Structure 1
Amino acid sequence: MKRLALVGMTALVSGLSAQALAADLPYASDPAPTTYSDPVAAARFDWTGAYVGGNVGWGWGNFENSGAADTEANGVQGGVHAGYNYMITPNFLAGVEADFQLSDLSDTGTLGGVTAETSSDWNASIRGRLGFTFDRFLVYGAGGLAVADQSLKVGGSSDDATAIGWTLGGGVEGAVTNNITARLEYVHQNFGSEDFNISGTQYQSELDDNIVRFGMSYKF
């Protein structure tokens, strides 16, 4: 009887010991829930808005003169511009721009013993712009009204005129920051024929010129 009680007590102690050991063992924790997030697309550059800027470049032009020698001139041009762009669709842009440039177009030619000097000191334009955007890059064409001064000097006397014509061109522009853009463009201008009266003699002069210029703008 004592042996049976001893066996039973031994079994009870063994069972309790096993339970205590099991309680001390670490349990595997549940895996952390997996979270998924869709990538957020970067916001597209918004070209809509007003801007102002400056530009500098190289111009070259032809003065076709009646009654005096034809001349060709080239030189540095620089000025300011301002405009407004509006995004018609996510990729198509329309806008309007005005600019004023100082120019250094002057040349002298001699025909039949008569020396004539032709020059243009400034030009300006109001242009419409249409473009296609690739997020932060823009390819555009522009055209509209052009205005320039013209001067013809013969034999020490001169006459001036303000010529009105047209302009066409195009370029590429990129956003450097969210407010600064840089551009490279080509512009052609034609001002038709202007009449000059110098010392009672009538002359005519027609100016067409070309400009390649680099510019930077601040977009509001």
Structure 2
Amino acid sequence: MKTLLASLAAFTALTAAASAADLPRRAPPPVFTPVPVFTWTGAYFGINAGYAFDASSNNTSSFAVPAPYGNGTTAYFSQRNQEGFSGGGQVGYNFQFTPGSGVVVGVEADAQYLDFGRSRNNALVVGPLAQGVYLTDPRGLSSLDFFGTVRGRLGYAFDRVLVYGTGGFAYGSGSADRSFGGFAGNDSFRTGWTVGGGFEYALPVDSFLNFFRSSAVTVKVEGLYVNLDRNTRNQGAFVINAANNFPVAYNNIGRRDDEFAVVRAGLNYKFGSY
């Protein structure tokens, strides 16, 4: 009897072990890998290219030609051909308060080449003009070779899309010798302000455009209005001696704002936070 009970107990134990082996094993809990949340925080640099055009309301200026170069003669200068290519580079830094979506503040500086129309000797002359002289007005936008800005930016990010406004300091200058003989009186440097806005989109990190292995490559479309205020030193129209390309008379009363707009596309490489 004891042998039978021992055999029955052993059989029961073996059966229970076999049944436990057939039960499904409890799988380990899955490892949670958080998805990185994109942030616009970080420094960046990039390039841009676009189109610039005159945005002033006064596109015509006049000049009474003094004797002996004119006799009751008036010249009218039109701001024709004041448009062309603009291109350059920018650097900046953004800070986003909440990753993903949220307010973004930043600062950006850029320097731009300008290719405005270069014909400023398109005066309409009413009355006689002495032989051997011509007229020019260096106040026009075509005297600008480059401009730059230092701006603040304020925007809102919808994940990888940033919509922003921007504004700040602007400056510009041109080559004096592009109008006539490098005359020192042609003070071409000017300062002013700019305002605008745009939107920017961050491409995936593995974008084929990511040549510098940056944390993000962004593309943007931006528009700026630029107003550069000229001072009054020798800013009027000039009578130029064609033989030596030197001014023989000028009107130094001619304060004028240079106003133009720029529409451009850009590419940025962002470094820092992902």
TM range (shorter): 0.7 to 0.9
CA distance in 1, matches of 2:112, 2:45: 14
Is the CA contact 1:62–1:70 (under 8 Å) kept in the aligned structure 2?
A: no
- Return 91-100 or 173-182, whichever deviates more: 173-182
The correspondence for 1:82, drawn from 87, 91, 94, is 91
Contact 1:150 1:163 in 2 (8 A): no
Map 1:8-19 → 2, pairs under 5 A: none
2:263 equivalent to 1:212:
yes
Q: Does 1:70 find its partner at 2:78?
A: yes
Q: Which residue of 2 aligns with 1:101?
A: 112
Select the structure of larger CA radius of gyration: 1
C-alpha contact 1:62 1:71 (8 A) present in aligned 2: no
The runs of 5 or more residues in structure 1 that have no matched partner are: 1-11
The TM-score normalised by the length of structure 2 is 0.62
Hey, what's the Cα distance between the residues in 1 that align with 2:156 and 2:224? Answer: 18
87 and 60 in structure 1: CA distance in 2 versus 1, 3 angstrom threshold = same
Is the 2:191–2:230 contact (alpha carbons within 8 Å) kept by the matching residues of 1?
A: no
- 1:30 maps to what in 2? 23
Aligned equivalents of 1:80, 1:171: Cα separation in 2: 16
Match of 2:39 among 41, 46, 53: 46
Write the distance in 2 (CA, Å) between the matches of 1:29 and 1:36. Answer: 21
Take 1:133 and 1:168, find their aligned partners in 2: how far apart are those partners? Answer: 20
Give the strand-richer structure, 1 or 2: 1
Deviations 1:84-109, CA, capped at 9 Å, x for gaps: 11113331111111000000113433
The aligned residue for residue 169 of structure 2 is 145
* Post-superposition offset of 1:147: 0.6
Identity %: 34
Once superposed, which parts of structure 1, at least 4 consecutive aligned residues long, lie more than 6 Å away?
Answer: none
- What is the RMSD computed on CA atoms of the aligned residues? 3.1
1:131 match: secondary structure = strand
Unmatched 5+ stretches in structure 2: 63-75, 127-134, 206-214, 239-248
